Amino acid sequence: MNKIICIANQKGGVGKTTTAVNLSASLAAAGKKTLLIDADSQGNATSGLGIDRILHGQSNFYHAMIGQVTLDSVIVETALPNLHMVPSNQDLIGMEVEFVHLEDREVRLRKLLQSMNGSYDFIIIDCPPSLGFMTVNALVAAHALIVPLQCEYYALEGLSYLLNTVKLVKANLNPGLSLDGILLTMFDARNSLAHRVAEDVRKHLGNKVLKTIIPRNVRLSESPSHGLPIILYDVKSRGAFAYMALAEEILRRGT
Ligand SMILES: Nc1ncnc2c1ncn2[C@@H]1O[C@H](COP(=O)(O)OP(=O)(O)O)[C@@H](O)[C@H]1O
Ligand SMILES: [Mg+2]
């Protein structure tokens, strides 16, 4: 089994990286061999797992994407035995421009992942906040897509652009891509607006909305500064419970 899931939304600050890191960690804790790929030049998933401290001067995701090194050679271990990661940093910023002239610019990541050939049960890709080549590469390489939506007033704004991009990718490059779910994040149960937004999203998107809702939880926002996923930082927090429930929901869905 090998399932590739990309976490995408062109909006920043909606919980993509938090979800990528903590879903990966929860799947790993459930015994699944998991690879987390940081596809964002901001490198937040990388620093969130404390990897940036060992990264200086080493090859990373960018060097694999431009074909200088193999993907295998840039994989690093994390504090969780079942969780490996492909780190990134600002090297990746140039990629959007450098890729414009490449013929296979949309399928580079898919080709790299094919070389992994079933070494992992799950591969999770943390996308940047844009619909550029990097996100398109992730959508082309993935079997499934999870879209985090922050429970705030403008939650649905821009979603149609993303879903349209998904439609184009499905029509042209990756017919098997499935929207495995809209994930409601940063839900504040005391805020009546959050309830209304959640209701609204369910009304519009129905069974595309994942059952698990990620609550707003301060422990989740603290854990990256310790370089740890929530299950290692505070396993008893509501954030940890929520991401473990998300992993269970994803595992129930299977491949
Ligand atoms: N459920 C949550 N509760 C509290 N803070 C959160 C939660 N999810 C994310 N955050 C915080 O919100 C900010 C944006 O989240 P992040 O995952 O980096 O979003 P994105 O990757 O979409 O830009 C970060 O500071 C993160 O720690
Ligand atoms: Mg991010």
Tens of pLDDT along 65-75?
999 999 999 99
For residue 253, the model assigns a pLDDT of 83
Q: How confident is the model at residue 121 (pLDDT cuts 50, 70, 90)?
A: very high
Tokens of 34: 């998991």
Per-residue confidence (pLDDT) for residue 177, from 0 to 100: 97
Under the banding of pLDDT at 50, 70 and 90, the label for residue 53 is low
Q: How confident is the model at residue 54 (pLDDT cuts 50, 70, 90)?
A: low
Cβ-proximal residues to 73 (8 Å cutoff; 6+ apart), any chain:
59, 64
Classify residue 254 as exposed, middle or buried by CB count within 10 Å of its CB (0-12, 13-18, 19+).
Answer: exposed
Question: Each residue of 148-192: pLDDT tens digit?
Answer: 999 887 878 888 889 999 999 999 999 999 999 999 999 999 999
Residue 108 has pLDDT above 90, yes or no: yes
Q: Which residues pair with 3 in a beta bridge?
A: 122
DSSP of 99-168? HTT-TTTTTHHHHHHHTTTTS-SEEEEE--SS-SHHHHHHHHH-SEEEEEEESSTTTTTTHHHHHHHHHH
**All structural domains of the chain with their residue ranges:** 3-253
- Average pLDDT, integer, range 201-211: 91
pTM value > 0.95: yes
Cα 64 from Cα 60, distance rounded (Å):
7
> What is the CA(185)–ligand 1 centre distance, in A?
9
Beta bridge partners of 213: 184
Give the chain's mean pLDDT: 93
The first and second tokens of residue 248, run together, are 């269970």
Q: What is the pLDDT of residue 4?
A: 97
Q: Give me the CATH topology for the region 3-253.
A: Rossmann fold (3.40.50)
Element (H, E) at 237: none
CA of 82 to the centre of ligand 2 (A): 22
Atom of ligand 1 nearest to the CA of 18: 17
Question: In this predicted structure, what is the pLDDT of residue 255?
Answer: 54
* Ligand sitting nearest the alpha carbon of 8: 1
CA of 44 to the centre of ligand 2 (A): 6
Residues in contact with ligand 1 by the CB-under-6-Å rule are: 12-18, 44, 129, 185-186, 214, 216-217, 220-221, 224, 239
Residues 231, 158: Cα–Cα separation, whole Å: 32
Determine the distance separating the centroid of ligand 1 and the alpha carbon of 221, expressed in angstroms. 6
